[in-house]
Amino acid sequence: MRLLFGILFLTILTAGAQPALQHNGGMQLHEGAQVGLYFSFVNQAPFEQDTGLVGFYGDGLVRVSGSFAPVFYDAEIAHDFFVDLQLPINVANNLNFIQGDFLTDKALPQLYVALLQNAFTVGESNLSKVNGYVTVLNQSSVVFPVGDAAEYRPLTLEGDIFPLAKCGYFREDPNSPSTFPPFRTDLKPRTIEAISTSEFWRLEGSSSGQVTLTWNPNSSLGAIAEDISEIVLVGWSKSAQRWIPLGTQSAAGDLSNGFAISEPIVPDAFEILSFGSLAEPQEVLTLDNFFLSPNGDGINDVLIIEELADSPNNNLQIYDRRGLKVFEMDNYTDQFGGVCNVGNLVLNKEVGLPEGVYFYLLRMYDLDLEFQGFLFLDR
């Protein structure tokens, strides 16, 4: 492993007791080189890498600032607290979340973590994410690794190629947000009973796509609904200056944990997105919750739904707790054994999905019925 430089102009600065690495031009990483930053990085010249890893580590102040947004090939964060971004950073390949947040000022959407065309993320969790804005460029499917200081609260966007899409999460009441004018929750159509006052997402993008939002106990959906059948996705319309339904294609879970998928929308038509409840709930049918343990012992190795004997013409979709689709099959019988078969957002598909709770949506076309429920995968 070597760290090679072209014409190198680096300065170690000390501002009070806080050192900083200042790049004035010429730094290059080659042959899988790795650089660990335990203090601040001041980037005053173009820094665009086509190989190598830059990591942010330690427990002291780490701030990225300067005049030029750096482009890292691989990047990772393993910091006890957070890395303060005072200019954007770009990742061309892999962004690895281990510990700590990338923090951007949500009042300044021009500060963000950017995932370039072929970039992907791994490891995002409550312990490590972007507490601020994330931008993606020229991607058609993305799970935005966003949240606040306490929780990972992703938004999934799938559809056309998005030349640029940006997302941030806000655990705030839309009636009194910190960085926007009010989005009054009483301005809504009669078909909507209530709008969440617990959280919202800001999503930007000019291409059409489907949005998936998840909820958890801190979403407090019990305050606006009595049953999951009432939950819908809503957005503050820029043109109408009021909340309108996005069109909710599917929803699964219960009032404590679940997800909902919108009909295709153009994000730029809306200021923010959140959850609402219907004045007249729709009927949602449920089957049993299922247990799957694909260990080769012949017991619960594959998902078997006995009711499908009455509807061989069917469609089964399985989602993880982020609302990310991990399996889909028409005319399903017994093919799901814990392995992903769709999309490009699940890494290492061949090793099988991780243990945990999943949601399923089942359409039985012969009977004109739709069911939803939980699936627990045991490894």
Say if CB 69 and CB 96 are below 8 A apart. Answer: no
Q: What domains does the chain contain, in order, with CATH numbers?
A: 1-137 (no CATH), 166-283 (no CATH), 285-377 (2.60.40)
Nearest-CA neighbor of 205 among 242, 172, 158?
Answer: 158
DSSP lists the bridge partners of residue 141 as: 158
Nearest-CA neighbor of 25 among 75, 84, 53, 66?
Answer: 66
- Residue 68 predicted with pLDDT over 70: yes
The C-alpha atoms of residue 142 and residue 10 are separated, in whole angstroms, by 35
> What is residue 127's predicted lDDT score, i.e. its pLDDT?
97
> What is residue 13's predicted lDDT score, i.e. its pLDDT?
52
- Candidate from 4-8, 206-210, 256-260 with smallest mean pLDDT: 4-8
Nearest-CA neighbor of 322 among 88, 143, 55?
Answer: 143
Question: Which position has the higher pLDDT, 282 or 95?
Answer: 95
Question: Which position has the higher pLDDT, 1 or 366?
Answer: 366
The C-alpha atoms of residue 164 and residue 260 are separated, in whole angstroms, by 23
| pTM to 2 decimal places | 0.87
| Beta strand spans in 86-199 (E) | 89-103, 113-115, 120-122, 130-131, 133-136, 139-144, 155-162, 165-170, 192-195
Mean pLDDT computed over 68-84: 96
The DSSP string of 332-367 is -SS--SS---S-SSSS-GGG-PPSEEEEEEEEETTT
- Side-chain-side CA neighbours of 29 within 13 Å: the count stands at 21
The model's confidence at residue 352, banded by pLDDT at 50, 70 and 90, is confident
The C-alpha atoms of residue 145 and residue 147 are separated, in whole angstroms, by 7
The DSSP string of 84-97 is EESS-EEEEEEEEE
Q: Which residues contact 41 (CB under 8 A, 6 or more apart)?
A: 20, 21, 23, 62, 63, 64, 65, 66, 70
- Residue 129 predicted with pLDDT over 70: yes
- For the chain, the residue count is 379
- Residue 292 predicted with pLDDT over 60: yes
Average pLDDT, the chain: 90
Mean pLDDT computed over 248-262: 91
The encoded tokens of residue 357 equal 């709770």
> What is residue 360's predicted lDDT score, i.e. its pLDDT?
92
* % the chain with pLDDT above 70: 92
> What is residue 8's predicted lDDT score, i.e. its pLDDT?
36
The encoded tokens of residue 6 equal 């072209």
- Phi then psi for residue 16, to 5 deg, are 70, -125
The C-alpha atoms of residue 123 and residue 136 are separated, in whole angstroms, by 18
DSSP lists the bridge partners of residue 256 as: none
The C-alpha atoms of residue 126 and residue 100 are separated, in whole angstroms, by 9
CA 187 to chain centre: 28
- Residue 147 predicted with pLDDT over 50: yes
Mean pLDDT computed over 164-180: 97
